[in-house]
Amino acid sequence: MKGAGTSRSRQQVTLEIRGFSSEGAGVGSLPDGRVVFVHRTVPGDRARVELTELRRRWGRGRLLHLETEGPSRRVAPCPHQPRCGGCPLEHLEYPAQLDAKRSRIQEALRRIGKLDELPVIELHPSPREFHYRNRVSFTLRRLRGDRVVAGFREVDRPDRILDVDEACLLPEEAVAQAWGGLRRSWGSGAVRLPPGRELRLTLRGTVEGQVLLLVEGGRAPEGEGTSAGAQALLADVPDLAAIWHREGPGRPPRLLAGAPRLEEVWYGEPHTVRPGAFLQVNREAAGLLHDLVLRELAPPRGRTLVDAYCGIGVYGRRAARHGGRAVGIELDPQAAAEGRARAPEGFRLLEGAVEDRLAEALPADLVVLNPPRSGVAPGVMERLASTPPERIVYVSCDPATLARDLARLGEGFRLRRLQAVDLFPQTAHIETVVTLDRTGDGSRSRTSIPSNGIPSNGA
């Protein structure tokens, strides 16, 4: 073991598992109070664990065997799950997964956000527990003797790649079929893919069942024009519609073969499906999330809306079509260009970072924040506090950064409603929708709860 406080190698202990980490590992404690994270354990387990890493305040362990099983444990349906790092909660019954995510939201808002009381969390399960992802990324590693391993990183050994075939329960059916066909068709040593020891392969499926493949890493195929290997893959894998390659981060993707442009409709808006474009991975649960946000923004007629971190501006465009005026703010140049090209009357889009352009869009009646996992940049919540809208709807994919940002907002708003949608079954991730209303007297009560309460939709 490494780290401060280590006295013996590969020490074994028995732990009572009481909760989950943000990564989906079970959490127990040593007699000295140090927290230990152990994958493949659940609350209620009494687990015999080998300590693999031990530091001053925390450690990691590997499950050896269970002395007692927790009440919500199940046999994981996927054959890859015992070693695969892709689904850290699959051994937990789905209702218990939802309970764990509800507890994670509550704990973050109370501990980090310093919110003493909270509305009841309305938690909506995913319509699909399995086969819900329209986008999946695998790692391909070339080994000696033209051997290839391709899949997810191992749960307790992330330096190793576990070979995962189309039996994986995460992808939508069309994406899983394309992955199986790709594995059977890429040739010895994956010769039909760009050269390089390790590649990242991202498959993205459309609602019509077309699949785009983005290969990242390695070297660009030699010569000009379309790659012969990619052309052969398209011929042999019917579900593949296009193959792109990007040599590294920040480099523009290059089309190797197939359709240069795919489109599909989300929330009534046409979207271009392109390498690197952001669209939620769970299309059915994303539709539910979209409707929840719109409900919190209604009615838009005669009101002004700021749609921050907007992509092509779905919420702003909807408000403009229903009689409001809206401003979107988006950093990605391609998304911003697409949003401007299809903008309805009453909607304009500012390209750039939200922290740099927000002042131009204020004041507003309504603000939607839909930032990446890292949350909003410093200064954004402070700007909203100084020019407060009537309502802020914050869509978050990380309870910790959400809680941090709410604390930055300071006084002047009341947390009216807490909703959550499980976009990522079998993982510890959860999408949260927080509705904040400006208080009439200009002071925010950090313990105020709506007098009528908000009923939970349950798990």
* Helix segments in 112-189, DSSP class H: 173-185
Is-contact 368 290, C-beta < 8 A?
no
Distance separating alpha carbons of residues 134 and 81, to the nearest angstrom: 20
10 φψ region: left (φ > 0), alpha (ψ -120 to 50), beta (else): left
Instruction: For residue 84, indicate whether it is catalytic.
Output: no
Neighbours of 55 (CB within 10 A): 14
Q: Burial code of 251-265, b = ≥16 C-beta within 10 A, e = fewer?
A: eeebbbbbeeebebe
Neighbours of 247 (CB within 10 A): 17
Is-contact 305 367, C-beta < 8 A?
yes
* Selected catalytic residue, list 78, 84, 87, 397: 397
Is-contact 379 308, C-beta < 8 A?
no
Residue with tokens 């989906």: 24
Number of H helices, E strands in the chain: 9, 23
User: What percent of the residues of the chain are helix, what percent strand, and what percent coil, each to the nearest 5?
Assistant: 25, 30, 45
Rounded to the nearest 10 degrees, the angle between the axes of helix 283-297 and helix 314-321 is 50
Residue with tokens 């909760």: 19
The H or E element containing residue 326 is strand 325-330
- Known catalytic residues are 397
